[in-house]
Amino acid sequence: MSKKLLQAALLCSALGTVSTALAQNPATQPEFQLPTVMGPVVRPQNASASTMQNITGPSGGTENLYIHSWDVYASYDNNGIAWRRTDAAGNLIAEDHIILNYAEDIDAVIYSEGSDFFVLAAYYYRNNITGVLGHYYDIYRFEAGGLMPVSTMNFLSASPAFGRINVDASYFGLAIIWCVPGTGIYTKVADLGSGSGFGPDVLLPGTANNVDPDICIRRGYGGSNTGADLQMAFLENNLTVAREYRIPFFNVLAGATSGYVQEMTASSVGPKYFPPRIDCPDRWGTGQKWVMVLGAQDISGGTVTEWVSAMVKNEDWPGVPPTYTYPTPVDISYATYPYQGWPEPIDPVVTYDKSGEVITVGWISQQSTSVLPGYNKKYLAKDIRDDGSAAPAVIPGSFNMISNAPASGEAVLAFSGENLNSDFDGLYIAFSKNHPAFPNYCMNYKSRPFGMSTFKDNASIKLDTDQSFTVAPNPFANQLSFVAPAAGNYTISITSVDGRTVYTHKDILSSGQLFQVNTQGMASGTYLMHIISQENDIKKTEKLTKL
């Protein structure tokens, strides 16, 4: 069977299957409303979520940062970003929200540059009063006084027609992807290591008939073997064909499209796909690793059949025969239920955990569940094991309710993208709910811890006992050096014992590469050298003496 028809065959078999309520696990983590005031949230049609945890925040101590966005079509002020800061134990420091006037399809993500933490928010701008239309992006910074604008309304396009826009961020860089209907899919990236800002807009060839793009930044080997690829997913404008491509990150940064390669095609025999979502682990990989989720609905004879599937690429495990290069399809949901007069979009979302070995897929459904019987709207999730030791597959017993209460009349769901700075409580989730007070809608959030959480005590200096590499010499005079134990992104900083930063640098190191710091200008005394490589689980702090 051809690759292109594989998913079509799966969908055909699904549409002939009737499923009853399965045993789901009830949600156990608490959920909270944000914004806490009524009014900003009305009939939301889109959402995004992001988090960075166990970072040094505006307070100077360890903090956890969270954001989620919501928006509705053609609204002046029912679009915005909610933000929250907590201390190392999860106690609230501050929370609030900002409004993004006339912004649709907001996608927002937290990222770090130097010692500061920022939010990149991209959106389609529709001001029907002034007639200004198009794609734009904003930059905000977390400060002690809140989420403050750095630059807003940065131009991307003057598209007169709405086209979806999405973003991704990692320690390595930033990426934006957007659709100008009839023209094509554009992308642009920024290299955070160089501090050079965004490169040029790049129109991907042959995409004039493509829509609904999503993007993730993948670091590691495999693919183009340049060490950094953009993995992209989008649909043909008939919404029955989904495609996945890759392109080298640095080629896009330079404004080039060389290395732009299609890796996967999926086709539906009739039902239209909802916008696909794609994610990659932030961890440096030995080969390609990404997941794309697809969802579709069929309505026939008063019955709705929902279908959700994940296409899992992991070069540690052979793919589908006979070529063994095609991603492994993992069935998430085949459910049939009575048509309720207005089918809710499934809109699946996806993320990896910090280890990069567990994938969580969430979606919106009207199937009856054991926790919440009946055909009202609800938020569901399943986990996939993808550790390379066997074919990716759903983890038994992982069919979970995200919330035990029904979803709102207009339901939206968002997962934070996988981020190695998720040490405190892992996955951050945002979703809409009904509310008894006018205008009867609100956004709720909750977190679901990953399998392992770590906590840090910044009241005292904690020295890492990692002996896999050593900083030398100690004591030191004119220079310090170490040999990188693994390839990846490194953040190196030196602080005095009172916390003053005297040196900071980010670099991409290969395994076995010598890194040196010139220390001639440093005063004599005691210092701490911090070496962090999130993708390699390296968080080393070494006490050093300057002669």
Q: Domain check: are 134 and 187 in the same one?
A: no
> Do 187 and 244 fall within a single domain?
yes
Please check whether residue 498 lies inside any domain of the structure. yes
Q: Are 261 and 212 within one domain? A: yes
Can you tell me the distance from the alpha carbon of 231 to that of 315, in angstroms, rounded to the nearest whole number? Answer: 15
**pLDDT bracket for residue 233 (50, 70, 90):** very high
Among the candidates 210, 242, 267, a domain finishes at 267
Residues 217 and 258 grouped into a single domain: yes
Sequence-distant contacts of 59-63: CB under 8 A, at least 24 apart: 59/85, 59/87, 59/93, 59/144, 60/499, 61/87, 61/88, 61/458, 62/87, 62/88, 62/456, 62/458, 63/87, 63/88, 63/93
Residue 67 located in a structural domain: yes
Provide mean pLDDT across the span 36-55. 95
User: Does some domain include residue 507?
Assistant: yes
Is 389 inside any structural domain?
Answer: no
Tell me the pLDDT band of 403, cut-offs 50, 70 and 90: very high
Average pLDDT (44-55) is: 96
Quick check: helix, strand or coil at residue 535?
helix
Contact partners, residue 100, CB within 8 Å, separation at least 6: 69, 71, 79, 80, 81, 106, 121, 123, 138
Q: Tokens 């200008």: give the residue.
A: 521
The domain boundary residue, chosen from 236, 267, 298: 267
The answer, yes or no, to whether residue 28 has pLDDT greater than 60, is yes
Return the closest-CA partner of residue 492 out of 508, 503, 479. Answer: 503
Rg (the chain; Cα; Å): 23
In a domain, 392, yes or no: no
Query: With 50 as the cut, is the pLDDT of residue 462 above it?
Result: no
Q: Which amino acid is at 280?
A: C
* 223 lies in some domain: yes
- Residue 126 contacts residue 133 (beta carbons within 8 Å): yes
Kindly tell me if the per-residue pLDDT of 12 is higher than 50: no
C-alpha atoms less than 13 angstroms from C-alpha of 491 in its C-beta half-sphere: 16
- Per the structure, the count of domains in the chain is 3
Which region, left, alpha or beta, applies to residue 39 given φ > 0 means left and ψ of -120 to 50 means alpha?
left
pLDDT digits (tens, 9 = 90+) for 325-382: 789 999 999 999 998 887 789 999 999 998 889 999 999 999 999 889 999 999 999 9
pLDDT at residue 14 tops 50: no
- CATH number assigned to the domain comprising residue 541: 2.60.40.3080
Q: Is the peptide bond before 322 cis (omega within 30 degrees of 0)?
A: yes
- The whole-number average pLDDT for the span 220-246 is 95
Q: In this structure, are residues 200 and 228 in contact, taking their beta carbons and an 8 Å threshold?
A: no
pLDDT at 523 over 70: yes
Do 187 and 107 share a structural domain?
no
**Which tops the pLDDT comparison, 308 or 6?**
308
Q: Which range, 81-85, 321-325, 406-410, 518-522, has the best average confidence (pLDDT)?
A: 81-85
Residues 176 and 244 both lie in one domain: yes
Q: Which residues lie across from 35 on neighbouring strands?
A: none
Which residues make Cβ contacts (< 8 Å) with residue 157, sequence separation at least 6? 134, 135, 163, 178, 180, 186
Residue 398 included in any domain: no
Contacts of 511 (CB under 8 A, 6+ apart): 484, 485, 486, 487
Judged against a pLDDT cut of 90, whether residue 285 lies above it is answered with no
**117 and 171, same domain (yes or no):** no
Closest Cα partner for 308 from 3, 27, 19, 48? 19
Indicate whether 241 and 172 sit together in one domain: yes
Q: How many CB atoms lie within 10 A of CB 261?
A: 12
CA separation, residue 419 to residues 54, 282, 332, 358, 501 (Å)? 12, 6, 23, 13, 25
**Cα separation of 337 and 61, whole Å?**
50
HSE-CB at 357 with a 13 A cutoff on CA atoms is: 9
How many residues does this entry show for the chain?
547
- Has residue 496 got a pLDDT over 80? no
Q: Are 463 and 452 in contact (CB under 8 A)?
A: no
Cα distances from 359 to residues 281, 350, 410, 463, 506, in angstroms, run 10, 7, 26, 32, 29
The Cβ-side half-sphere exposure at 58, using a 13 Å CA radius, reads 16
Cα–Cα distance measured from residue 228 to residue 232, given in angstroms and rounded to the nearest whole number: 13
Quick one: CA dihedral 367, 368, 371, 372, positive or negative? positive
Note the pTM of the prediction, 2 decimals.
0.81
Do 229 and 258 have their domain in common? yes
- Does 105 share its domain with 138? yes
Q: What is the secondary structure of 297-364 as a DSSP string? A: EEEETTEEEEEEEEEEEETTS--BTTTT-BPEEEEEEEEEEE--SSPPP---EEEE-TTSSEEEEEEE
pLDDT of residue 22: 61
pLDDT for 312 equals 95
pLDDT of residue 438: 95
**Identity at 344, one-letter amino acid code:** E
* % pLDDT > 90, the chain: 63
27, 362 Cβ separation under 8 angstroms: no
pLDDT band at 51, cuts 50/70/90? very high
C-alpha to C-alpha distance for 88 and 459, rounded to whole angstroms: 11
pLDDT (0 to 100) of residue 455: 17
Dump pLDDT digits (tens) for 311-340: 999 988 876 666 667 899 999 999 999 988
Owning domain of residue 255:
163-267
Based on the domain organization, do 80 and 54 belong to the same domain?
Answer: yes
Last residue of a domain, one of 207, 235, 267: 267
Average pLDDT value over all residues in the chain: 88
Integer Cα distance of 500 and 358 in angstroms: 38
- Give residue 467's pLDDT: 58
Chain-centroid distance, C-alpha 374? 32
For the chain, give the percent of residues with pLDDT over 70.
91
Shared domain for 46 and 146, answered yes or no, is yes
Q: How confident is the model at residue 508 (pLDDT cuts 50, 70, 90)?
A: confident
| Inter-CA distances, 45 with 122, 212, 346, 414, Å | 16, 15, 12, 11
What's the pLDDT band for 199 if we cut at 50, 70, 90? Answer: very high
Least confidently predicted of 10-14, 94-98, 348-352, 497-501: 10-14
Would you state the structure tokens that stand for residue 418, as one six-digit string? Answer: 């996988």
Residue 369 maps to a domain: no
